[in-house]
Amino acid sequence: MDWYTIISNTLRSGITQQAIIFALAAIGLNLHFGYTGLLNFGQVGFMAAGAYGTGISIEEFGMPLIPAIGVGLAAGVVLAIILGYPTLRLRADYLAIVTIAIGEIIRFTVRAAALSDVTGGSNGINGFSNEFQSWNPLSGGKTYGFNLFGRINLRFTGADLWEMFVGWMLVFLCVFIVWRLVNSPWGRVVKSIREDEDAATALGKNVFQFKMQSLILGGTFGAVAGIFYAVQQNSVQPDNYGTQQTFFALTAAILGGLARVWGPVVGSIIFWMLLSAVENILIELIDAGIMPDWLMERSQVGAVRFMLVGLTLMLLLVFRPQGIFGDKREIAIDARK
């Protein structure tokens, strides 16, 4: 068993692009669900709106990257308004139904052959964000970093480091915005809406407006996640925007602790580290011949890791239902209500 590989792969997946993307998406979901009580099951729709908004602006309209990112963000805002306007006056479940549908609607629309001139159909749009790497102060092909304890590989290419740097800056920015807002009177109103809309209304709060603002801002964070995903991959693929992405992000938010500013970030890091650890341990067990052939083959690792991670998360939430950062007293109140 090569423990050093397991450890280094696990550490790497906690800090690389994937963890960043899902941290960003989960920050938005945390604002929606954790603070405002909005059930958004279509965060991936916001990611896709941001990614395609940016990709199409560059590829079709020849925009430079920065304004194209602006278009991607605007696409997220527009999507939030379209989703929120008819549903936010109704009970919470209506938003859930509409959002879960919209994610799939967007995915099927952008991968439709009829639109392939614009969206690239099932091939997506590729090679549109070279501009991003041209701003990289490091040399993209060169490797930087070090081996921890001589064996744990923490070396990254300049391109990766640049992406990780920008990504984590975005995470900090989004966390800062959420932190400021939830500790302001705005945040107090939003939390009161989560607890009881009628009470907030009876105290003179325009519940619809606050819910709309929260939906827009959280959706924008989702769009940021999608844009970062697309720009960093230099590609948008429709099948990267499947429903499961929303639930990975939601898992990260719950794992970290809902309604905690750092919850979604830590949740995302732990989620991807856990997934990577399980995968690498399984591979090492098989390669070392410890895992018998009849029980599991290498091709099954991809599926089995999700089963084991799911089991782990279940156990974690049984013993710590409030997540990593949550307050157990809040869960107790939920049980009483």
- Least Cβ distance, residue 120 to other proteins (angstroms): 36
Q: Does 81 bind other proteins (CB under 8 A)?
A: no
- Least Cβ distance, residue 117 to other proteins (angstroms): 38
Cα separation, 292 vs 311, whole angstroms: 22
Cα separation, 279 vs 299, whole angstroms: 11
Q: Does 337 bind other proteins (CB under 8 A)?
A: yes
Cα separation, 281 vs 7, whole angstroms: 9
Nearer to other proteins, 296 or 331 (CB): 331
Nearer to other proteins, 25 or 181 (CB): 181
Residues 156 to 215 in contact with other proteins, rule: CB under 8 A: 177, 180-181, 184-189, 191-192, 194-196, 198-207, 213
Structure tokens at 228: 């970062």
Q: Does 92 bind other proteins (CB under 8 A)?
A: no
Burial of 292 (0-12, 13-18, 19+ CB in 10 A): exposed
- Least Cβ distance, residue 79 to other proteins (angstroms): 18
β-pair partners for 147: 153
- Least Cβ distance, residue 246 to other proteins (angstroms): 24
Listed in order, strand segments (DSSP E) in 201-306 are 235-236
Residues 252 to 271 in contact with other proteins, rule: CB under 8 A: 259
Fill in the per-residue mask, 215 to 254: x = in contact with other proteins (CB under 8 A), - = not in contact.
--x-------------------------------------
Helices and strands in the chain: count of H runs, count of E runs: 15, 4
The dihedrals phi and psi of 8, each to the nearest 5 degrees, come to -70, -40
Q: Does 23 bind other proteins (CB under 8 A)?
A: no
Number of residues interacting with other proteins: please give it, by CB under 8 A: 33
> In which element (H, E) is residue 274 found?
helix 263-287
Burial 190-229 (b: 16+ CB within 10 A, else e): bbbbbeebeebeeeebebeebbbbbbbbbbbbbbbbbbbb
Nearer to other proteins, 21 or 193 (CB): 193
Nearer to other proteins, 198 or 239 (CB): 198
Site residues for other proteins per CB under 8 A = 177, 180-181, 184-189, 191-192, 194-196, 198-207, 213, 217, 259, 329-330, 333-334, 336-337
